[in-house]
Structure 1
Amino acid sequence: MAYDEFLADRTRQLLKEKSVSYVEKKMMGGLCFMVDDKMCFGMHIDKNTNSSLLMARVGVDNYEKALKKEHCSEMNFTGRIMKGFVFVTEDGFDLDNDLNYWIQLCLDFNPLAKSSKKKATKKK
């Protein structure tokens, strides 16, 4: 699993400054940050360009507005666009203010996001 450890450290610091409780999970080929048991944002390395990408869960209402921002594109892992999720390239989060913008947008959407369904575990 490949992701930018420096970016991960920067986001951890931001979450600490905002007093946000989170859990990190390695998934989707990178690292995801879960807030309230919901995927809030994540990061991975683009295999084609070998550059870091921020995966931002901004929600459907903020989706079109986010796509108009420079360095932002549709999130597409499997040939299917994931509405409500965007990729932000390195130039879009290089500055601390820019990273804070994207993380805050994700945190603002998080209370509205639906949790993924928990897999049932069999009792023995």
Structure 2
Amino acid sequence: MAYNESIAKRIREQLKLFPEDFTEKKMFGGLSFLYEGKMTVGIIKGDLAVRVVAAKMDSELAKPTVRPMDFTKRPMKEFIYVSEDGFKTEAQLLHYIDLGLEHAKSKLK
């Protein structure tokens, strides 16, 4: 499995702050955290993979630590990668978890 276990531990700790239940699944060669079967955030090597609602993609992609998720060599719709410099603090990590949860909930409506 190609993901950073210390990042997984940080995510697990942050997810305890949410009333929602999350599951873990191996995806994209890493580890993903799902809400109601929908991916929220994941880890691929040392990067976060985050689902983002379309309306927030441009503002997230404008950040220097964020890039399109190009797992298939083409940008994937509503997915971003965040380098480790982009989630050094727990507040930054929580921001990306919130974005991913928002996306998952938007797909359940």
- What TM-score results when the alignment is normalised by the length of structure 2? 0.93
Unaligned 5+ segments in structure 1 are 46-51, 115-124
Matches within 5 A, 1:77-88: 77-88=71-82
RMSD value, Cα: 1.2
Question: Which of 27, 50, 55 is matched with 1:61 structurally?
Answer: 55
Distance in structure 1 (CA, Å) of the matches to 2:41 and 2:90: 16
Q: Secondary structure of the residue that 1:87 maps to in structure 2?
A: strand
Q: Is the 8 A contact 2:53 2:102 kept in 1?
A: no
Aligned to 1:122: none
Unaligned 5+ segments in structure 2 are none
Q: Is the 8 A contact 1:57 1:84 kept in 2?
A: yes
Aligned to 1:34: 34
Tell me: higher relative CO, structure 1 or 2? Use CA pairs within 8 A at least 6 residues apart. Answer: 2
AA aligned to 1:26 is K
Q: Deviations over 1:19-52 (max 9, x none)?
A: 220110112100011101111111011xxxxxx0
Q: Is the 8 A contact 1:58 1:86 kept in 2?
A: yes
Distance in structure 2 (CA, Å) of the matches to 1:59 and 1:24: 21
Q: Is the 8 A contact 1:63 1:83 kept in 2?
A: no
Aligned to 2:68: 74
Distance in structure 2 (CA, Å) of the matches to 1:27 and 1:83: 16
Q: Is the 8 A contact 1:56 1:106 kept in 2?
A: yes
Distance in structure 2 (CA, Å) of the matches to 1:28 and 1:79: 13
- After TM superposition, give the deviation of residue 113 of structure 1 in Å: 2.4
- After TM superposition, give the deviation of residue 112 of structure 1 in Å: 0.9
Q: Name segments (4+ residues, structure 1) moved above 2 Å.
A: none
Identity %: 38
- What TM-score results when the alignment is normalised by the length of structure 1? 0.82
- After TM superposition, give the deviation of residue 75 of structure 1 in Å: 0.4
